[in-house]
Amino acid sequence: MKTIQAYRFALDLSRGQERAVLAHVGAARVAHNWALAQVKAVMDQRTAERSYGVPDEQLTPSLSWSLAGLRKTWNAAKPEVAPWWAEVSKEAFNTGLDALARGLKNWSDSRKGRRAGRPVGFPRFKSRRRTTPSVRFTTGAIRVEPDRMHVVLPRLGRLKLHESARKLARRVDNGTARIMCATVRGEGGRWHVSFTVEVERAECIPARPDTVVGVDVGIKHLAVLSTGELVPNPRHLVAARQRMLSLGRSLSRKSGPDRRTGRRPSKRWERAAARLGRAHARVANVRRDGLHKLTTRLATTHGTIVVEDLNVAGMMRNRRLARHIADAGFAEIRRQLAYKTSWNGGRLLTADRWYPSSKTCSGCGAVKTKLALSEREYECEACGLVMDRDRNAALNLAALAAEFDTAGSGSVAARGADQKTHARGQVAVKREPGTASAGKTGTVPPQGGTTDRALTKAR
């Protein structure tokens, strides 16, 4: 099975190498901002000409928004715009132009209704201080050295790694991996190189392929499994909050930049900002490490995993829970499970967003009309079952796998339950794209009741 996979390694750059990387990052920013200024100038000129009644055929010729068109325009103007262009790799300019081409396409598709999700705004100019520095290399010498502690990138030369790249090197030497591109990115005071690799993965089978596990994510516990396991929520951001507040107060006392007067930040402000950035990066790293360990264990152990399609964006509107929801990483758990189940031969089923997993009794199937967020114990009025509400929801999710198999792959896909689930409605269970047997959608009989909840499973 061929798949696209990324390998990310920390770099140990010398002063000269860091200056070279920053030069490439600056070149990408210059190309992006110059091309964006050209696009805006042409758009404004055409708008003004239309307001004067100029016919469409006599308007100023429009500028191509494709990467090829932007690159052609840049190559014609770069001797005047950037006379130092030969000092950096052409991939640096290509990085900025490619980002602009993608941004313009996303904005256009969003306006025309061809792009799902939230509206996308018009691309903005990149700032040297507020933009995450990165540059991508797609051509030239891109390889891992035989000692596996150095990599070679175009124009940057031989760069030392902070850790061994033996996992990637072994695949490349065996012919089961092909490096497609490399991206150098600065984040949290460190530089990393990420290799996008086409990997030939061997067929894998989970340790227990016949088992089904329902995963109910939350705030009190990061995940409650239908097996009864409670995965604690480490709350990394809460643990580091006191230090971040202290670093933020220290930063506010320094002389920072002022765009209105053109004042540059002091050295002490830059050092304080770097300390705060490293603190945030550490929180993100330990959170990512914990989520990877959890999702890898689930994907390599169970053959079928059932999760919920949570409205995380809607849950984040609750000002009391937004920080805790963001710290838990609900969307990241589902994203990682989606590709890890396909890698390990399992399948990921996603319950409909309005499926009443918390309100449904896992014993008799009765559905409560209301279930307050403060009710941590589920008490069934029909059969008298008393159980932790998260464990009850996880059991209901696990039961959906059997109902999906009963419905069969040939059934017609329903639109799923809506906010007011009726007794004869249907609850959709869909396979996550990219998982085993993807593309099949089954419908399962409803449990009845209503699911009118302001926050989807926010706990």
Sorted by sequence, the CB contacts under 8 Å of residue 430 that are 6+ apart come out as: 349, 350, 352, 413, 441, 442
| No. of helices (H) and no. of strands (E), the chain | 10, 16
Closest Cα partner for 179 from 210, 218, 147, 136? 136
Q: What is the pLDDT of residue 457?
A: 43
Q: Hey, what are 67's tokens?
A: 């990467």
Cβ–Cβ under 8 Å, residues 163 and 144: no
Helices marked H in 302-417 — which ranges?
A: 312-315, 322-328, 330-343, 389-407
Sorted by sequence, the CB contacts under 8 Å of residue 374 that are 6+ apart come out as: none
The total of other beta-carbon atoms located within 10 Å of residue 364's CB is 11
Residue with tokens 């695949």: 171
Q: What is the pLDDT of residue 381?
A: 84
- Cα separation, 153 vs 134, whole angstroms: 14
Q: What is the pLDDT of residue 421?
A: 41
- Cα separation, 212 vs 403, whole angstroms: 12
| Cα Rg of the chain, angstroms | 26
- Cα separation, 271 vs 282, whole angstroms: 17
Closest Cα partner for 221 from 454, 394, 371? 394
Give Dmax over CA atoms of the chain in angstroms.
80
Q: How far is CA 285 from CA 10, 133, 404, in A?
A: 12, 18, 37
Cβ–Cβ under 8 Å, residues 454 and 371: no
Mean pLDDT for back-to-back runs of 10 residues, the chain (459 residues) = 93 96 96 97 93 89 93 95 95 96 96 91 92 94 95 96 95 94 93 96 91 93 93 93 95 92 92 94 94 96 93 88 92 94 92 88 87 86 87 91 65 38 43 46 37 38
For residue 183, report the phi and psi dihedrals to the nearest 5 degrees.
Answer: -125, 125
Where does residue 60 fall: left (phi above 0), alpha (psi -120 to 50 degrees), or beta otherwise?
Answer: beta
% the chain with pLDDT above 70: 88
Annotated catalytic residues are 216, 308, 390
Burial group, residue 131, by CB count within 10 angstroms (0-12, 13-18, 19+) = middle
